[in-house]
């Protein structure tokens, strides 16, 4: 007899070889999980043009039904903190009806959770600009705000656990942390300010016997390991290309890291070179993206300089397999320049134009073949 949905999901999360993949395709009527939520208002009625959530944040929408955006921040003026009414995590109405939501759970993996756990709740209350600024200029104020939110979250986790002991298996939450390029704040600040607070929440969820699931958008590579360190069990990431995941034909994919151009002396720590080079050490393949028509000098000189920095930092790094790429083939006389470049370095060069897309399919296929050589 095969595993139950609960057993499949649990085994997958904890790397215990389930007999099939767990699935969550609600639109197709396929779902190994079952949600039991509180009465949190969250964005509210998606049809209404304006709604308020339980934190008194104003949500506004276009004429088309959608989740909307927060356009009214109740603590945008910090003086409002004196009269602000914090939501009550011990209000019985917050949990009323949850028992009935277990109907249909059967042998599925049961989840509960939060919409906007910490960071998103901070900026919906105070405003994104204020939060990002005051994390630097007034960290005490931000600590007060964050800790009030964490206290609410901890109380809700405790209350749900006490009401339904042993009946819930996973705790999910949302906190979007990234832009297309990076996290909203430096990884160092994230670890100093937010990691300890998330750790308290994850510990409380684990104490109830729940796995911790997180949904986050954007390029969040730098905080994934710190999240795992404090007990994150499952992460749902959006925008794979922002995360450096390259998808090519026939359902193939690989991860690519974009390392900024190195300057002379990088091997000795000039600029941020040694930090970048430490990241390069983790790769299996180097792709040198050369400007075929640089404003000064030439691509051959730039290539040799990069190779020299790699060798001086680590001979093993310099021995990694590599692909050399000439970019900006859309410029005049680029063909002539790339021919001279090939001759100067004595290696094959893949010619591309990032602007027009010319050559990109050949480049990604070459990377795949280098990463997966025929056996």
Among residues 282, 349, 346, the alpha carbon closest in space to that of 320 is found at: 282
Q: What angle, 0 to 180 degrees and rounded to 10, lies between the N-to-C axes of helices 195-207 and 139-163?
A: 10
Q: Are strands 58-60 and 69-72 parallel, antiparallel or unpaired?
A: antiparallel
- Please give the pLDDT value at position 269: 56
Residues in the chain: 375
- Please give the pLDDT value at position 341: 94
DSSP state of 178: B
Longest dimension (CA), the chain: 76
**pLDDT, averaged in runs of 10, over the chain (375 residues):** 94 95 90 96 89 96 91 97 97 97 97 96 98 98 98 98 98 94 93 98 98 94 93 88 81 82 58 61 90 86 87 85 94 89 94 93 95 87
Query: For residue 138, what are the contacts with CB-CB under 8 A and spacing of at least 6?
Result: none
Which helix (H) or strand (E) is 25 found in, with range? strand 24-25
- Please give the pLDDT value at position 268: 54
Could you read off the pLDDT of 238-297 as tens digits, one per residue? Answer: 776 677 888 888 889 898 887 766 656 655 555 545 556 667 788 899 999 999 988 878
- Please give the pLDDT value at position 296: 79
DSSP string, 247-291: EETTTEEEE---PPPP-TTGGGTSTTHHHHHHHHTT-S-EEEEEE
Domains within the chain, CATH numbers bracketed: 5-239 (3.20.20.210), 252-371 (3.40.50.300)
DSSP state of 2: P
Query: For residue 290, what are the contacts with CB-CB under 8 A and spacing of at least 6?
Result: 299, 302, 303, 324, 325, 326, 327, 341, 349
């Amino acid at each position: 007899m095969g595993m139950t949905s609960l057993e499949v999901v649990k085994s997958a999360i904890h790397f215990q070889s389930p007999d099939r993949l767990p699935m969550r395709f609600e639109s197709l009527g396929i779902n190994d999980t079952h949600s039991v939520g509180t009465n949190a208002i969250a964005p509210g009625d998606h049809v209404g043009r304006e709604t308020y959530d339980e934190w008194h944040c104003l949500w506004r929408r276009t004429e088309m039904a959608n989740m909307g955006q927060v356009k009214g921040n109740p603590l945008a003026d910090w003086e409002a903190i004196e009269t602000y009414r914090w939501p009550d995590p011990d209000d019985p109405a917050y949990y009323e009806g949850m028992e009935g939501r277990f109907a249909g759970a059967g042998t599925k993996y049961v989840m509960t959770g939060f919409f906007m756990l910490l960071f998103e709740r901070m900026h919906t209350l105070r405003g994104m600009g204020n939060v990002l600024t005051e994390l630097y200029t007034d960290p005490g104020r931000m600590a007060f705000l964050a800790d009030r939110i964490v206290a609410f979250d901890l109380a809700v986790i405790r209350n749900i656990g006490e009401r339904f002991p042993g009946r819930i298996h996973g705790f999910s939450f949302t906190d979007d942390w990234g832009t297309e390029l990076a996290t909203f704040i430096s990884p160092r600040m994230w670890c100093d300010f937010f990691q300890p607070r998330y750790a308290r929440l994850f510990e409380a969820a684990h104490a109830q016997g729940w796995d911790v699931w997180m949904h986050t958008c954007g390029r969040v590579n730098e905080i994934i390991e710190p999240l795992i360190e404090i007990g994150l069990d499952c992460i749902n990431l959006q925008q794979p290309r922002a995360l450096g995941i390259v998808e090519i034909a026939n359902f193939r994919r690989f991860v690519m890291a974009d390392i900024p151009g190195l300057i002379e002396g990088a091997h000795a720590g000039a600029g941020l070179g040694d930090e970048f080079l430490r990241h390069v050490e983790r790769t299996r393949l180097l792709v040198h993206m050369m400007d075929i028509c640089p404003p000064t000098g030439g691509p051959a000189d730039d290539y040799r300089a990069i190779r020299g920095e790699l060798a001086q930092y680590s001979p093993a790094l310099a021995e990694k397999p590599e692909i050399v790429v000439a970019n900006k083939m859309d410029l005049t006389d680029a063909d002539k320049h790339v021919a001279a470049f090939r001759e100067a370095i004595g290696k094959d060069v893949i010619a591309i134009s990032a602007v027009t897309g010319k050559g990109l399919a050949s480049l990604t296929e070459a990377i795949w073949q280098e990463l997966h050589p025929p056996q």
